[in-house]
Amino acid sequence: MPRSPRALLVVACVLSLGCYHATVETGAAPSPEVIDKSFASGWIYGLVPPSTISTAAKCPNGPAKVETKLSFVNQLVGFLTLGIYTPMQITVTCAVSKVGETGTGASQ
């Protein structure tokens, strides 16, 4: 029984709609402070990555978790621009300060 090329194309499109998601955890305890950039601009299918997000001012203790993902809307924009503009969502969760941290670096 021959299969329709159109049906195979539909199945291939549905299977390719999976969302990319990567998480990096530093092991630090998370704070309620979150930096979210929903359209970090990448180019040419991600070969030119988004610019660095400066977190030093909002996260003085560094990040606890960094998440990057391609939402459905991000992928739709990439598809409509033929992969020239490929945005992604970046979420940084700041870390809380360590207990007993003096800030001087000297041990007592």
Decide: residue 74, CB within 10 A, 0-12 exposed, 13-18 middle, 19+ buried.
Answer: buried
Alpha helices, DSSP H, located in the chain:
5-15, 72-80
- Please indicate, yes or no, if residue 101 is contained in any of the structural domains: no
The answer to the question of residue 71 being in a domain is yes
> Are the C-beta atoms of residues 91 and 39 closer than 8 Å to each other?
no
Determine the Cα–Cα distance for residues 69 and 90; give it in Å rounded to an integer.
7
Residue 2 domain flag:
no
- Asked whether residue 18 is domain-assigned, the answer is no
Number of domains in the chain: 1
pLDDT of 24-76, one tens digit each?
Answer: 888 888 888 888 888 888 888 878 888 888 888 888 888 889 898 888 888 88
Q: What is the pTM of this model?
A: 0.67
Report pLDDT for 108. Answer: 40
For residue 80, what are the domain limits?
Answer: 30-95
Instruction: For tokens 């709609």, name the residue.
Output: 17
- Main-chain phi, psi angles of 89, to 5 degrees: -100, 130
